[in-house]
């Protein structure tokens, strides 16, 4: 038996591998098993050196991939169960043309020993294929290119082109176009994803079930939906689980696009491609791992999997240190721009040739490179429809990754947002199909609520709560309509139900601010009575009741503020502390000065945060509310001239409406009542509320 030696690097790889396998394996036992298999597979070798052990996305305790040196050359050896190895050998033969054994991209494959039962598969080593002094995975090359231009983005784009065109030549051209594979169910249809030569198929419904049932997946779904405000125009993001639930319930299947089906790699990502490096250039991609190859694959799967697996690993480095909701929002903006660029370049065939200067621009360039090549492979004979196929399968793959248990929350969020943006862009082509889809109804509710048609919004919102029980925004719109209809207790109950449904995840700042507003409005009549009565006993009692509700309101605004310390709950906290300071003064409490200082503290905190990510414009009238918020904070800070300027900016916005002015005037009037009690005298033009905010005809 030949002696077996392990390099230090390989030993470290082994320890890493054993930590990641499920169930966890012991290093010594795993090494002994590998040594035994190698000696049986390579009995004629004088010596065997294990140089590396590759750890992929999903380490399996019964499968190992090694870089082996036998003295006469190096190669990649895959060890595993004989039936599985034989399936991979057959899959490679099935998905490639007759007589193909490998080329400059596909590493050559042979069985070890050459007759069954198999002990190992031997791939031609990437090092000998590449013949360059340094190699790394395509994933590492992409990460380095985007962050540091090491290797250059242009060279990585060339590698992607060489890789994908080689797969196209060997596999993709052996394909045809048909309707998306599906199967009937009791309630509609189910989508069939990649099928393997063994005949095993993945169904989309399996992934949907995991998104609904697994707590970690539910948390991602919850945070992703919270991250995207409802928009009156086409949505950036649609919850992809709800989207496919609705589509797959359509027994007519009219929405199914035509897709290209045939030979493909089936498991293309950044860790089963090795590239060479020289003079900061990536070169000569080498591909291995043929287990998922088939001549019955969805060809677009190669592109959408490669795109998704690369970009979701880059996203956390583009926005480091942010929470999951902020990360979801940033990814959504990137994905929206990515879609717009794709559609523009696809239409005019003007794909970019410049890589960009910033990391997001570099990522965009590489991702557009993948889509440009996809447009040729998938749409050379149907340029008008390939992108609908692409968006559909991009959404499907983003949901499919829930099956991979070892992904971090950041990676899973990236895949889920990618799926949701793709679903939104795919949905644009379905608009005449069903105007009653829940996400369309939710947009109508949003419009009704913003146009003071709250009774209509309330009726409509009650009809979609069951269908949208996962979506905090639906609960928010219901509570918003209830509050506007003066049903405060119902609104509070709706928000309590939303928090219960979130299963331990916090709601968003809008929900907590609305919750705070419920208590604030419950306190307002008591506060008004305290300000207008001449009966001292009634005044004292009313102040106590108002104080109780306002303190409840403060608790919820603070919960919203602590999430991301953003301006909206912040300015409401500042305002309420001023009101509470005035009430304390009326009750002869020594807390009055302390409460006023708290209000000024929050006001300055909001002013100081101006320009931070929390001030990102998400809704069209943020151009009005942002300066109005600053104006109110300057008022509380007694910075009168700055308040004049900011409120002036808000009023000068061309899309300013009656309800904006009314809300500003009401808020300032409440402050000035409190200022009078606290002995604060407003200065400048803003001191005259009626002149500064003239009454307008409702628009």
pLDDT for 432 equals 56
Segment 578-597 shows an average pLDDT of 96
Q: What percent of the chain has pLDDT over 90?
A: 63
Give strand pairing partners of 649: none
Residues 6 or more apart whose CB falls under 8 angstroms from that of 698 comprise: 658
Instruction: Indicate the pLDDT class of residue 625, thresholds 50, 70 and 90.
Output: very high
From CA 697, how far away is CA 418, in angstroms rounded?
44
pLDDT for 316 equals 96
At 395-447, the pLDDT tens digits run: 999 999 998 877 899 999 999 999 999 999 998 877 655 668 888 899 999 99
Instruction: Give the dihedral sign, CA 232/234/238/244.
Output: positive
Helices (H) and strands (E) in the chain, counts: 26, 15
The pair of three-digit structure tokens given for residue 429, joined into one six-digit string: 């082509």
The pair of three-digit structure tokens given for residue 673, joined into one six-digit string: 């009542």
At 545-581, the pLDDT tens digits run: 999 999 999 999 999 999 988 889 999 999 999 999 9
From CA 177, how far away is CA 87, in angstroms rounded?
26
Q: Which of 360, 387, 389 is nearest to 375 (CA)?
A: 387
Give this prediction's pTM: 0.88
DSSP annotation string for 225-256: HHHS---SSS-S---HHHHHHHHHT-TT-TTP
Instruction: Indicate the pLDDT class of residue 128, thresholds 50, 70 and 90.
Output: low
At 326-361, the pLDDT tens digits run: 999 999 999 999 999 999 998 888 898 888 889 999
pLDDT for 437 equals 85
E strand or H helix that includes residue 376: helix 359-379
Between the alpha carbon of residue 446 and those of residues 109, 125, 309, 328, 624, the distances in Å are 58, 58, 35, 21, 19
Tokens 């001292």 label which residue?
Answer: 536
In this model, does residue 218 exceed pLDDT 70?
yes
Q: Residue by residue, what is the 3-state secondary structure of 117-152?
A: CCCEEEEECHHHHHCCCEEEEHHHHHHHHHHHCCCC
From CA 652, how far away is CA 648, in angstroms rounded?
6
Taking a C-beta distance cutoff of 8 angstroms, is the pair 197, 91 a contact? Answer: yes
At 653-682, the pLDDT tens digits run: 998 888 889 889 999 999 999 999 999 999
pLDDT for 415 equals 98
b/e 380-411 (16+ beta carbons within 10 angstroms → b): eeeeeebbbbbbbbbbbbbbbbbeeeebeebb
From CA 628, how far away is CA 646, in angstroms rounded?
6
DSSP annotation string for 595-639: HHHHHHHHHHHHHHHTTSGGG---STTHHHHHHHHHHHHHHHTT-
Q: Which of 145, 612, 610, 158 is nearest to 373 (CA)?
A: 158
pLDDT for 699 equals 47
pLDDT for 527 equals 93
Task: Order across the sheet with 281-287: list the strands.
Answer: 134-137, 273-278, 281-287
At 539-550, the pLDDT tens digits run: 999 999 999 999
DSSP annotation string for 547-596: HHHHHHHHHHHHHHHHHH--HHHHHHHHHHHHHHHHHHHHTT-TTHHHHH
Backbone phi, psi, residue 563, to 5°: -65, -55
């Amino acid at each position: 038996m030949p002696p077996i030696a392990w390099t230090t690097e390989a030993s470290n790889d082994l320890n890493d591998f054993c930590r990641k396998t499920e169930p966890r394996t012991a290093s010594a036992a795993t090494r002994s098993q590998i040594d035994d298999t190698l000696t049986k597979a390579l009995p004629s070798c004088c010596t065997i050196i294990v140089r590396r052990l590759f750890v992929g996305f999903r380490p399996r305790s019964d499968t190992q991939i090694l870089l082996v040196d036998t003295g006469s050359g190096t190669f990649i050896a895959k060890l595993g169960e004989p039936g599985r190895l034989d399936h991979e050998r057959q899959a490679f033969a099935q998905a490639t043309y007759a007589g193909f054994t490998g080329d400059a991209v596909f590493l050559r494959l042979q069985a070890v020993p050459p007759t069954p039962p198999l002990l190992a598969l031997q791939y031609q080593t990437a090092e000998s294929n590449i013949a360059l002094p340094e190699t790394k995975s395509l994933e590492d090359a992409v990460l380095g290119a985007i962050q540091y231009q090491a290797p250059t983005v242009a060279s990585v784009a060339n590698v992607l082109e060489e890789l994908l065109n080689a797969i196209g030549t060997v596999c993709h051209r052996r394909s045809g176009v048909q309707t998306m594979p599906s199967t009937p169910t009791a309630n509609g249809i189910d989508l069939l994803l990649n099928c393997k030569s063994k005949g095993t198929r993945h169904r989309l419904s399996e992934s949907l079930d995991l998104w609904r049932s697994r707590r970690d997946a539910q948390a991602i779904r919850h945070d992703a939906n919270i991250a995207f405000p409802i928009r009156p125009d086409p949505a950036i993001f649609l919850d992809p689980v709800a989207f496919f639930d609705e589509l797959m319930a359509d027994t007519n299947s009219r929405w199914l696009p035509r897709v290209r089906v045939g030979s493909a790699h089936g498991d293309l990502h950044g860790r089963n491609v090795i590239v060479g490096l020289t003079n900061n250039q990536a070169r000569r991609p080498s591909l291995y791992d043929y287990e998922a190859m088939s001549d019955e694959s969805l060809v677009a799967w190669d592109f959408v999997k490669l795109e998704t697996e690369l970009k979701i690993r880059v996203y956390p480095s583009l926005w480091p240190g942010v929470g999951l909701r902020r990360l979801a929002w940033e990814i959504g903006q990137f994905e929206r721009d990515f879609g717009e660029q794709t559609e523009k370049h696809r239409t005019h065939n003007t794909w970019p040739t410049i890589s960009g200067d910033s990391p997001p621009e570099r990522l965009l360039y590489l991702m557009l490179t993948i889509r440009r090549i996809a447009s040729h492979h998938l749409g050379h004979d149907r340029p008008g429809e390939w992108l609908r196929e692409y968006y559909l399968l991009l959404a499907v793959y983003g949901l499919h990754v829930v099956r991979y248990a070892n992904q971090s929350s950041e990676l899973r969020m990236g895949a889920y947002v990618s799926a949701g943006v793709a679903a939104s862009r795919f949905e644009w082509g379905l608009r005449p199909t069903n105007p009653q889809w829940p996400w369309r109804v939710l947009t109508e509710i949003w419009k009704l609520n913003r146009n003071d048609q709250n009774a209509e919004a309330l009726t409509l919102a009650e009809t979609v709560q069951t269908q949208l029980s996962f979506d905090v925004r639906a609960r928010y719109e219901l509570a918003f309509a209830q509050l506007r209809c003066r049903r405060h207790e119902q609104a509070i109950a709706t928000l309590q139900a939303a928090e219960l449904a979130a299963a331990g995840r916090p709601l968003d700042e809008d929900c907590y601010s609305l919750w705070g507003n419920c208590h604030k409005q419950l306190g307002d009549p008591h506060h008004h009575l305290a300000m207008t009565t001449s009966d001292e006993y009634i005044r004292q009692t009313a102040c106590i009741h108002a104080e109780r509700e306002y303190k409840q309101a403060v608790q919820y605004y603070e919960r919203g503020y602590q999430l991301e310390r953003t301006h909206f709950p912040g300015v409401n906290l500042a305002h309420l502390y001023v009101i509470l300071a005035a009430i304390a003064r009326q009750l002869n409490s020594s807390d009055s000065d302390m409460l006023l200082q708290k209000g000024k503290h929050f006001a300055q905190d909001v002013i100081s945060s101006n320009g931070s990510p929390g001030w990102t414009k998400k809704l069209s009238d943020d151009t009005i509310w942002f300066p109005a918020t600053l104006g109110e904070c300057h008022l509380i800070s007694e910075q009168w001239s700055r308040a004049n300027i900011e409120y002036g900016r808000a009023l000068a916005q061309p899309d300013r409406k009656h309800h904006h002015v009314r809300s500003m005037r009401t808020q300032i009037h409440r402050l000035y009542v409190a200022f009078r009690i606290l002995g604060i005298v407003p200065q400048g033009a803003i001191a005259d509320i009626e002149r500064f905010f003239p009454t307008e005809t409702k628009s």
